[in-house]
Amino acid sequence: MKYLLDIHTHTVASGHAYSTVKENIDYAREAGLALLGISDHAPAMPHATQDFYFANLGILPRRFGGLEVLFGVELNILDYDGNVDLKPRLLKCTDYAIASLHPPCIRPGTVEENTAALVNAIKDPYINIIGHPCDPRYPFDIPAVVRAAEENNVLLEINNSSYNPDSGRRGGEKMTVEMLEECKKRALPVILGSDAHFYSLIGDFSRTFPLLEQAAMPEELIINRSVEELKNFLDKKRKTE
């Protein structure tokens, strides 16, 4: 496998994913990943798990042989002020947080409203990654969001599942290339995420490769190359709390 880490994956706790924590871990080990992150949907997603699931993440081991495992969350951005669906006392129990716009939780707004939602979430001290920003249902001001991400040590995700022709987010290729070019200009790394809702999709970034090529994205700006670089990046945000 070309890349060593995937920290956007789901389990049955998300309500519409089909593998367990152990199945995800076993597969990540077989696939040769060095770091796996499990990021189940937060409670505002219909039929997702609830607060106690996140409160109890501390009991889980973080190492399985050669594989390190982080337990995070995929938050729902609830409004254009960037509010999300876990309280800080629960976010403290997670190793990292992805925040995303999902139609069941927030209505697509104007470019200004969507940009405000993303920029305000980026400023949240617990949010490390914006999940699948390149969703054509939520157009946004790309330079403004990339600038905010850079200023607040947040990674923007290139989400493999979004380019599946069956995805609700299909059609985001052009905005993705534009966002990659803007990140390249500012030397801001991006993170690839599989967004696997079944274990065998973990570590699959194949749909993102043509877009990375189109934008001529330098390898050193893909943070999935290095566990250490990712952890340093995550630390920059949460240590500034």
Report, in Å, the least distance between residue 41 CB and Zn ion: 6
Report, in Å, the least distance between residue 197 CB and Zn ion: 6
Q: Which positions from 191 through 210 interact with Zn ion, judged by CB under 5 A?
A: none
Report, in Å, the least distance between residue 132 CB and Zn ion: 6
Q: Work out whether 162 is an interface residue with Zn ion (CB under 5 A).
A: no
Q: Which residue type does 143 have?
A: P
Quick one: which of 190, 69, 217, 47 has its CA closest to 132?
190
Residue 156 pairs in a beta bridge with: 130, 190
Structure letter (DSSP) for residue 95: S
Report, in Å, the least distance between residue 216 CB and Zn ion: 27
Q: Tokens at residue 70, please?
A: 């982080």
Comparison of 24 and 226: residue with beta carbon closer to Zn ion: 24
What is the three-class DSSP state of 111? helix
Give me the 55-94 binding string for Zn ion, x by CB under 5 A, dash otherwise.
----------------------------------------
Q: Which positions from 104 through 143 interact with Zn ion, judged by CB under 5 A?
A: 131
Report, in Å, the least distance between residue 189 CB and Zn ion: 20
Stretch that binds Zn ion, among 57-65, 76-84, 100-108, 168-176 (CB under 5 A): 100-108
Q: What Cα–Cα distance (Å) separates residue 7 from each residue in 69, 73, 111, 138?
A: 9, 10, 28, 23
Q: Tokens at residue 41, please?
A: 């949907």
Please tell me the distance from the alpha carbon of residue 29 to that of residue 93, in angstroms, as a whole number. Answer: 24
What is the three-class DSSP state of 124? coil
Q: Residue number with the shortest CB distance to Zn ion?
A: 100
Which member of 19, 24, 94, 100 binds Zn ion (CB under 5 A)?
100
Give me the 22-61 binding string for Zn ion, x by CB under 5 A, dash otherwise.
----------------------------------------
Cβ neighbour number for residue 51 with a 10 Å cutoff? 15
Residue 64 phi, psi (nearest 5): -135, 95
List of residues contacting Zn ion (CB under 5 A): 100, 131
